[in-house]
A and B are shown apart, each in its own frame.
Chain A
Amino acid sequence: MTKLILNRRRFLGTAAATGAALASPAYLRRASAQSGGEVNIWTYNNFVPDAFKEQFEAETGIKVNVRLVDDQGKQFNLLAAEQPNPTVDIMTVAGHRFLQFIDSELLAPLDTDRLSNWNKINPTFSESDWSTINGNKWGAPILSGMEVLSYNTEYVTEEEALTWDTLFSDKYKGQTAYIIQDMMSIVMLMKGYDGNMVAYLDDPEKAAAIVEEAKQFLIEKKPLVRKYYDGGAEFQQMMVNQDIMLGHSWNGPAAALINDGFPLAMTIPREGSYGFVYTYNIANNAPNADNAYTFLDAILSSPEIGAAMTKASGFISTYKDATNHLTDLEKKSTSFPDEQLANLQFFRAEANEMKYGLVDPAVEAIKAA
Chain B
Amino acid sequence: MAKETSERTFWGRLASWGPYHALMHLATASPRRQFLILAAFPILWILTQHLGPMLQMLRVSLTDAYPVAPGVEQHFTLENYARFFGDSIFWQPFFRTLIFAGVFTFCTLVLTYPVAYFLARHVSRKNQMLFLLLLLIPFWVGEIVRTYAIMILLGNTGAVNLALKTLGLIDRPIPFMYTSFSMGVGIVYLTALYMLLPLYSALEKLPKSMNEAAADLGAGAWTRFRRVSLPLTIEGISSGCTLVFLISTGFYATPVLLGGPSTTVFAETIAGFFHVAGDEWPTGAAFATIMFMAALIITTVFQKLMNSLRKGDKK
Of A226, A227, A241, A369, which one neighbours B158 at CB under 8 angstroms?
A241
B259 (CB) vs chain A CBs: closest residue: A227
Cβ B278 vs Cβ A243 within 8 A: no
CB distance from A84 to the nearest CB of B (A): 8
- Across the interface, which residues of B come within 8 angstroms of A226, CB to CB? 175, 178, 260-261
Of A234, A243, A368, which one neighbours B269 at CB under 8 angstroms?
A368
Known A77-B67, A361-B89, A367-B264; judge A242-B156 contact (CB<8 A).
yes
- Across the interface, which residues of B come within 8 angstroms of A241, CB to CB? 151, 155-158, 177
- Across the interface, which residues of A come within 8 angstroms of B177, CB to CB? 241, 243
Q: Is B90 an interface residue (CB 8 A)?
A: yes
B96 (CB) vs chain A CBs: closest residue: A368
Q: Is B92 an interface residue (CB 8 A)?
A: yes
- Across the interface, which residues of B come within 8 angstroms of A74, CB to CB? 274-275
Cβ A364 vs Cβ B269 within 8 A: yes
Would you call the interface of chain A mostly helix, strand, loop, or mixed? helix
Cβ B276 vs Cβ A368 within 8 A: no
- Across the interface, which residues of A come within 8 angstroms of B260, CB to CB? 226-227
CB distance from B135 to the nearest CB of A (A): 28
- Across the interface, which residues of B come within 8 angstroms of A364, CB to CB? 89-90, 269, 272
- Across the interface, which residues of A come within 8 angstroms of B278, CB to CB? 73, 76-77, 100, 356, 360
A79 (CB) vs chain B CBs: closest residue: B67
Q: Is B93 an interface residue (CB 8 A)?
A: yes
Q: Restricting to B270-290, which residues have a CB under 8 Å from any CB of A? A: 272, 274-279, 281
CB distance from A153 to the nearest CB of B (A): 17
Cβ A174 vs Cβ B89 within 8 A: no
Would you call the interface of chain B mostly helix, strand, loop, or mixed? loop
Cβ B269 vs Cβ A367 within 8 A: yes
- Across the interface, which residues of B come within 8 angstroms of A104, CB to CB? 69-70
Known A71-B275, A361-B89; judge A367-B268 contact (CB<8 A).
yes
- Across the interface, which residues of A come within 8 angstroms of B158, CB to CB? 241
Q: Restricting to A218-247, which residues have a CB under 8 Å from any CB of B? A: 222, 225-228, 230, 234, 237, 241-243
- Across the interface, which residues of B come within 8 angstroms of A227, CB to CB? 178, 260-261
- Across the interface, which residues of A come within 8 angstroms of B257, CB to CB? 234
Q: Is B256 an interface residue (CB 8 A)?
A: yes
Q: Is B262 an interface residue (CB 8 A)?
A: yes
- Across the interface, which residues of B come within 8 angstroms of A1, CB to CB? 157
B276 (CB) vs chain A CBs: closest residue: A73
- Across the interface, which residues of B come within 8 angstroms of A71, CB to CB? 275-276
Cβ B277 vs Cβ A228 within 8 A: no
Q: Restricting to A1-47, which residues have a CB under 8 Å from any CB of B? A: 1
Chain A contact residues, CB within 8 Å of chain B: 1, 71, 73-74, 76-77, 80-81, 83, 100, 104-105, 174, 181, 222, 225-228, 230, 234, 237, 241-243, 356, 360-361, 363-365, 367-369
Told that A71-B275, A104-B69 touch, could you supply 19 new A-B pairs with CB distance under 8 A?
A: A74-B274, A77-B275, A81-B67, A105-B70, A174-B175, A222-B261, A226-B261, A227-B260, A230-B256, A234-B257, A237-B151, A241-B157, A242-B157, A243-B156, A363-B276, A365-B89, A367-B268, A368-B90, A368-B264
Q: List 22 A-B contacts (CB under 8 A).
A: A73-B275, A73-B278, A77-B274, A83-B67, A105-B69, A222-B261, A222-B262, A227-B260, A228-B261, A230-B256, A241-B156, A356-B277, A360-B276, A364-B89, A364-B90, A364-B272, A365-B89, A367-B264, A367-B268, A368-B90, A368-B92, A368-B93
